[in-house]
Amino acid sequence: MVFTMKHRLTERVPQTILTIILVLSSFGSFAQDYSGDAGNGKSLFNSNCASCHKLDKKMIGPALGDVTERRSKEWLVKWVKDNAALRASGDAEAKAIFEEFNGSVMPAFPNLSESDVEDILTYTIEGAKPVVDNNGGGGTGGEEVAAESDNTVILLVLGAILALLIMLLVRVKNVLKAVKGQPTSTLVQDADVITKTALKNPKIATLLTILIAIVFFQQLYLALMAVGVHENYQPEQPIAFSHKIHAGDNAIDCNYCHYGARKGKHSNIPAAGVCMNCHMNISEGPNTGKEEIAKIYAAVGWDPESSSYIEGYEQKPIKWVRIHNLPDLAYFNHSQHVTAGQVACQTCHGPIQEMEEVYQYSPLTMGWCINCHRETQVQVESNDYYAKMHEELKAKYGEDAEITVEMIGGLECGKCHY
């Protein structure tokens, strides 16, 4: 993992610098004033453009982060509203870009007004800026990794110094003894004498026994309590899927792929079909190139060369390895937590957006569940379901009481075990 992160870091640094240079030095030929509403632009971009364009990367269409530098505003408005007409009018630039992207047709957006397009273009300028910050964040992550390895070195050095000191002291002692004319002893002999004397002393022996027993039983207890607890479980998956790239860098909403989490008991592993929504157009990734994405294509039967599904292909489902294995005796419903409870995914799954490979972040023990139920407040204010109950609870626990899951019966056995 460390390796891959470093690998990504080295890859990202030049890219980052490039972006910075591009953004800073981008007052080129088409520098024009864009004073649209970037907020509106963002929502329009996300709903209309984002499936094919990104600001900083080429997808189906070109990256749009610097499009205002490359093209004039008038041209862009014409292109967005009806690119086919623009091409038909014989615009060379339009034809060229069409050729460059293998004749992928961009739909016309006659419903967008001129000011809408300007909003979007404003967003492409504004929205491109935070990319710099993001990459800065990535950089600090890399430093943390370095710091960790530094620690080990320091400890090793300290250990060596300590060993040296002991050796020195023994040497000093022997020199002193030799001076006094007493027989010298080696380090090993000293240790032997001390141990024997100590063991002959019943107090020390008892104390030692107790100590050893305590450590033994503590370790035994911990080992037994850890049976069936698979915290940090990180199995190898059939596809080296990176949540960091998807949920972190690209900030795809968890619910986009795991759509079941909002609606039902399970947070489903997405079908390969869901992957294809984007990967129809992205056949190459930053981590592993084409290799891993090709596995999705093998599952669904997609031919990236011809950009089409292979007819009559026998689809092969992807056999993911399940990480979070809650025992059957406990009932857990994702939608209860995600939708009704408004709990963020990260509360239980940890910093998923930073994980290259997912591991089990939480112990998933009953104590862990219960603890959260004791502390978590219920969304009583914003949900009409609780309206009547809230009044009753206020009467019971006081007007200002914070209503926790425990207070509405969230610790009762039957709420999870049936």
Partner 1 sequence: MAETKKYWKGIEELTNSATVQKLAENEFNSEISTEEFLGNKEKLEESQTSRRDFLKYMGFSTAAATLAACEAPVVESIPYVVAPEEVIPGIPNYYATSYFDGHDYASILVKTREGRPIKVENNKLAAMNGGANARIHASILDLYDSTRLQKPLINGEEANWSDVDTGIKKDLNAAVSNGKQVVFLTSTVISPTTKKLIGEWAAQTNGFKHVMYDAFSYSGKLDAHSASSGKRSLPTYNFKNADVIVSFGADFLGDWVGQNVSADYASRRKPGKDMSHHVQFESNMSLTGSNADLRHKIKPSELGNALIQLYNELGGSASGGNTSVSAQVKEAAKKLRAAGSRGLVVSGTNDADVEAITIAINKLLGNGGSTIDYSKRSYLRQGDDAAMKQLVADMNSGNFGALFVDNLNPAYLMAGDSKFAEGMKKVPLTVTFAEKNNETAALSKYVCARHNYLESWGDAMPADGVYSLQQPVIRPLFNTRQTEECLMTWMGKTGSYYDYLTTNTKAPNWKKALHDGVANVSGVAAGVSAVADSTDKAGFFERVFGGSDENNTDNNVSTGAAPAADVNAAASRLSSAKGGAMEIQFYQKTGMGTGNLANNPWLQELPDPISRVSWDNYLTVAAADAVEIGLENTNESNGALNGSVVNLTVNGKTIENVPVLVQPGQAKGTVGLAVGYGRTAAGKVGNEVGVNAFALFNGSHHSTDVKIEKGIGTHGFACIQLAHTMMGRKIVNEVNLDTFLNKPAYGEGGWNEVTEFETFKGPLTSEETNLWDDFDHQTGHMWNMSIDLNLCNGCGACVIACHAENNVPVVGKEEVRKHRDMHWLRIDRYYSSDMNEEVAEEQGIGAIDMYAAMEKPSSSPEVAFQPVMCQHCNHAPCETVCPVAATSHSSEGLNHMAYNRCIGTRYCANNCPYKVRRFNWFQYEGNSKFDKNLAMNDDLGRMVLNPDVTVRARGVMEKCSMCIQRIQLGKLTAKKEGRPLKDGEVQTACQSACDTEAIVFGDVNNKDSQVFKLKQDKRMYHLLEEVGTQPSVFYQTKVRNRA
Which residues sit at the interface with partner 1, rule CB under 8 A? 224, 226-228, 230, 233, 235, 259-260, 263-266, 268-274, 299-300, 315-322, 325, 328-329, 331, 333-336, 339-340, 382-389, 392-393, 396, 408-409, 412-415, 417-418
Instruction: Output 62 or 264, the one with its CB closest to partner 1.
Output: 264
User: Minimum distance between the CB of residue 107 and partner 1, rounded to whole angstroms?
Assistant: 23
- Smaller CB distance to partner 1: residue 87 or 258? 258
Task: For Cα atoms 92, 110, 113, give the angle at the middle one, nearest 5 degrees.
Answer: 100
User: Is 182 in contact with 171 (CB distance < 8 Å)?
Assistant: no
Q: Based on CB atoms, which residue is closest to partner 1, 2 or 330?
A: 330
**Distance of alpha carbon 356 from alpha carbon 239, whole angstroms:** 12
Whichever of 70 and 230 has its CB closer to partner 1, that residue is 230
**Sequence-separated (6 or more) residues with CB below 8 Å from residue 133:** none
How many angstroms from the chain centroid is the CA of residue 262?
Answer: 19
Q: Assess contact for 357 and 1: CB atoms under 8 A.
A: yes
Shortest distance, CB of residue 270 to partner 1, whole angstroms?
6
CB closer to partner 1, 13 vs 274: 274
d(CA 414, CA 401): 25
Q: Compare residues 268 and 287 and give the one whose CB is closer to partner 1.
A: 268
Nearer to partner 1, 201 or 313 (CB): 313
DSSP string of 171-204? HHHHHHHHHHTPPP--HHHHHHHHHHHHHHSHHH
| Interatomic CA distance for residues 22 and 45, integer angstroms | 21
Nearer Cβ to partner 1 (123/297): 297
CB of 211 to partner 1, least distance (A): 25
Taking alpha carbons only, the member of 76, 127, 124 closest to residue 97 is 76
Q: How many whole angstroms separate alpha carbon 326 and alpha carbon 363?
A: 10
Kindly give the residue spans of alpha helices, DSSP state H, lying in 181-306: 187-200, 202-225, 243, 254-257, 260-263, 272-279, 291-300
376 with 382: CB under 8 angstroms? no
**86 contacts 94 by C-beta, under 8 angstroms:** yes
Least distance in Å: CB of 382 to partner 1? 8
Phi then psi for 285, rounded to 5 degrees? Answer: -115, 170
Burial class (CB in 10 A: 0-12, 13-18, 19+), 384: exposed
User: Which CA distances in Å does 334 have to 17, 206, 229, 249?
Assistant: 41, 53, 20, 25
CA distance 23 to 125: 9
Q: Considering beta carbons, is residue 148 or 392 the nearer one to partner 1?
A: 392
Q: Smallest gap, in angstroms, from Cβ of residue 269 to partner 1?
A: 4
- Closest to partner 1 by CB, 57 vs 415, is 415
Q: How far is the CB of 362 from partner 1 (least distance, A)?
A: 15
